[in-house]
Amino acid sequence: MRTEKEKMLSGELYNSADAQLVMERRRARDLLRAYNASREEAQDERRRLLSELIGSLGERVWLEPPFYCDYGGNISLGEDVYFNFNCVVLDVARVTVGARSMFGPAVQIYTATHPLSAEERRSGLEAGQPITIGEDVWVGGAAVICPGVTIGSRSVIGAGSVVTRDIPEGVFAAGNPCRVIRVLETPDHL
């Protein structure tokens, strides 16, 4: 029989009230509380806390406190990734961020999703879909990235956008729902 965590990580409906998942979220909250309360000059302590929290952590990652996530262990951050203040990553599924990607303040990354049927929602079960963000991506402040989305490398997402579907490489995309506005790069530029 599969555990609720195994179901969660495979994208199946799962029970988030499962004892193991509750314990892992509490651990993440404790680490986040310490990280978010840390002082600017405590860089070694911040790095230690992030190393305990984040599943895969590249060099020179900078997360401005406060930062929030569900588990942390399902997040993979490449080198030189930057998150500005008040970002949230609901990582019930894998969140992969490529090197040198930047996130404005209050960016929300949601892998968590719920059934569309009210009857199914009443069961309390939820699911997750992974999010992949390529290298050298810039996501403007207050953007929301929805479950299952992939954002291609070198793309820019405008502030306040709601990204509900995949965005290709090398484009500027914005709006609600987010759509490609223009190409930033063509293969000739690469």
Residue range 103-145, pLDDT digits in tens: 999 999 999 999 999 999 999 999 999 999 999 999 999 999 9
* 14 burial type by CB count under 10 A (0-12 exposed, 13-18 middle, 19+ buried): buried
The pLDDT value given to residue 113: 97
Q: Check pLDDT > 90 for residue 188.
A: no
The pTM for the full model equals 0.95
First-to-last alpha carbon distance for the chain, in angstroms, is 49
- Given a cut of 90, whether residue 190 has pLDDT beyond it is no
Please report, for residues 102, 158, 164, 174, the alpha-carbon distance to residue 181 in angstroms, rounded to integers and kept in the order given: 20, 10, 15, 7
- Place 163 in a pLDDT band, splitting at 50, 70 and 90: very high
Domain enclosing residue 170, as ranges:
4-189
pLDDT of residue 187: 59
Catalytic residue numbers read 114
Tokens of 35: 């990280």
- What's the pLDDT at 37? 98
Res. 28: pLDDT tops 80: yes
* 141 touches 160 (CB < 8 A): yes
User: CATH code at 59?
Assistant: 2.160.10.10
Number of domains in the chain: 1
